């Protein structure tokens, strides 16, 4: 998963009014985690700042993660609702909790679509602070806080 191509993605989005999208089965599960919600029978109105709360284990002293919240349809097409990076620098290696406030949004998820969270370690839109061959494990107790109305 990624936020798109620098300058191009946001420029096209500004002209056409469309969000970047991916086909979710192409996300590399070797470097990204994917979680999908149930598919509600009515629309979900998101208004505000979704926040991802991650409990991480065995992390390096420095690292970066990218969190993406998607609108996933029945065919596997996923539109970016919002996303954000998070970096920790110069801390002790080990376990940590990280809160990732995603960018504010006003988005209506259609009925029978799934809210899907992808947490990745690379994104071409951003520099990252991950060690080569490093690993991050997302532990139990992690969750997403969605401001739904």
Residue bearing the bigger pLDDT, 13 or 132: 132
39, two tokens: 């598919």
pLDDT-based confidence at residue 7 (cuts at 50, 70, 90) = very low
| pLDDT of 13 higher than 90 | no
pLDDT tens-digit series, residues 22-79:
899 999 888 889 999 999 999 999 999 999 999 998 788 888 999 999 999 999 999 9
Euclidean distance between CA atoms 83 and 119, whole angstroms: 10
At residue 15, the 3 state secondary structure works out as: helix
pTM listed for this prediction = 0.86
6, two tokens: 């620098």
pLDDT tens-digit series, residues 83-103:
999 998 877 888 899 999 999
- For residues 142 and 97, the answer to whether their CB atoms sit within 8 Å is no
For 8, list phi and psi in degrees, rounded to 5.
Answer: -65, -50
At residue 110, the 3 state secondary structure works out as: coil
């Amino acid at each position: 998963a990624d936020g798109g191509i620098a300058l191009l993605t946001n420029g096209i989005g500004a002209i056409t009014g469309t969000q970047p999208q991916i086909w979710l089965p192409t996300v590399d599960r070797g470097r990204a985690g994917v979680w999908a919600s149930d598919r509600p029978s009515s629309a979900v109105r998101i208004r505000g700042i979704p926040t991802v709360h991650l409990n991480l284990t065995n992390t390096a002293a420095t690292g970066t993660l990218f969190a993406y919240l998607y609108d996933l349809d029945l065919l596997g097409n996923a539109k970016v609702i919002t996303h954000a990076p998070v970096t920790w620098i110069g801390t002790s290696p080990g376990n940590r909790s990280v809160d990732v406030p995603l960018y504010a949004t006003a988005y209506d998820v259609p009925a029978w679509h799934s809210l899907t969270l992808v947490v990745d370690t690379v994104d071409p839109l951003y520099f990252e602070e991950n060690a080569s061959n490093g690993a991050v494990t997302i532990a139990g107790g992690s969750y997403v806080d969605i401001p739904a109305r």
